[in-house]
Each structure stands twice: as C-alpha cells, then as structure tokens.
Structure 1
C-alpha cells in the first residue's frame, strides 16, 4: 500500500488499540509489586509505546524488521560456511560469488 494509505489505516485501526493498551498498562502498574518482573516489563512496555507511536504517524515505517533480518541471514549462514573454504584461494573464490 502507499504510505498515505498505510498511515490512514493505522490511524483508524492501530491507534485505538495502542491507546487501550497504554491505558491498561498504566492502570495495571499500581496494582503490581514495584520490584516484580511483571512491573519491570510493564514499565519497559510503557517506555517503548512512546517510540511505537511514530509507527502510527509515518506510513513508510514497517511494524517489524523482517526484511532487514532476511538480508542479514545470508551473511550469518555464510559465516559458518566460509570457515570451510579449504584454502585462501578457495575463500577468495567463495567471496566473489556470495552477495
């Protein structure tokens, strides 16, 4: 979808959900012991929500980073494979064919 359309859809559908989530987290936090793991997780989520709001206002942004992770996968897989090139010359040949 074009960025403008994505932003509009996010404003209609995701914004109310994020608002509800923020209200839920903020009302739940006082009812939980302050040093508990759950309280720490809720405080972390509240701070991250401030960053997530940018996603609502910019249709160019993706909700996840799967595309970036996929582009790095070849490097991660190749890293182990390059250990077994056999020789320096084999390593040079492998380096020319890998992206």
Structure 2
C-alpha cells in the first residue's frame, strides 16, 4: 500500500521525486528477487532500506506538508517498522502477496455466496462447492 500511494502521486503529478522513490523501491524488489529461495542469513545480508528512508525524510522536508506526496510519505514512514521488519528476519518475505493470493478465492466466494438467490439456491451452491 505504501508503494501504491507513491505510485498514484507519480501518475497524477509526474513528480520526479516520486519517480525516484519508485526507482528505489524497485531496487529493493530487485534485491529481493535475487535472494529468493536463499537461506535466511544470505537474505538478511543482501537486504537494505536505509537509503529509501533517508530519501523520504529529506523529500518530506522540501515539499508542502499538505501535498498528496507528503501524505504518501507520511503513510510510509508512520508504518516504517512494519514495512521493514523483513530486513532483519530472513524468513520473512518482502510482501504479503502470497498470502493475499491464497485468500482471494475465499474472499471472492464469500461475496458470491451472498447472491445465491434463495435458501435453496444457497444449498445447491454449497453442494456444488463440495464436489
């Protein structure tokens, strides 16, 4: 979500600073791709995040505090501990995309179940889902 807010600002304003922040984030993802599947100790050794935080702090000091970019930066920095927890623990993934993908069918199904049409339709759907 933190990257998405910065991305939205970049698309809306074409801000060079937002573009630079996105490039830094892309480098973090590239590092992560390079260590995927490696032992936890190797993953920790390769990970870094201090450059991005320093850039965000410096940029926040230069821009209007009421801008959307400032809001996006504050969103990221206020969640910094959670966002960077993966840096010090090689067992953690950088994103929760795998978990999001795993629960997506359940979430979509839950919404679909609301529109079975009737109690009998709901029972028939339940029978079909168990097959």
Q: Please confirm whether the aligned pair reaches a TM-score higher than 0.5, indicating the same fold.
A: yes
Count of residue pairs the alignment pairs up: 91
Stretches of structure 2 that go unaligned for 5 or more consecutive residues are 1-37
User: How far apart, CA to CA, are the structure 2 residues paired with 1:76 and 1:24?
Assistant: 37
Larger radius of gyration, structure 1 or 2?
A: 1
TM-score, length-scaled by structure 2: 0.56
Structure 1 residues 33 and 92: CA distance shift in structure 2, 3 A: closer
Matches within 5 A, 1:6-85: 6-10=43-47, 15=48, 18-79=49-110, 80=112, 83-84=115-116
TM-score, length-scaled by structure 1: 0.70
User: How far apart, CA to CA, are the structure 1 residues paired with 2:108 and 2:42?
Assistant: 37
RCO comparison, higher one (Cα < 8 Å, 6+): 1
Moved more, 83-92 or 37-46: 83-92
Contact 2:64 2:70 in 1 (8 A): yes
RMSD: 2.5
Deviation track 1:49-82 (CA, whole Å, cap 9, x = no partner) reads 2322321110111111121122112223434278
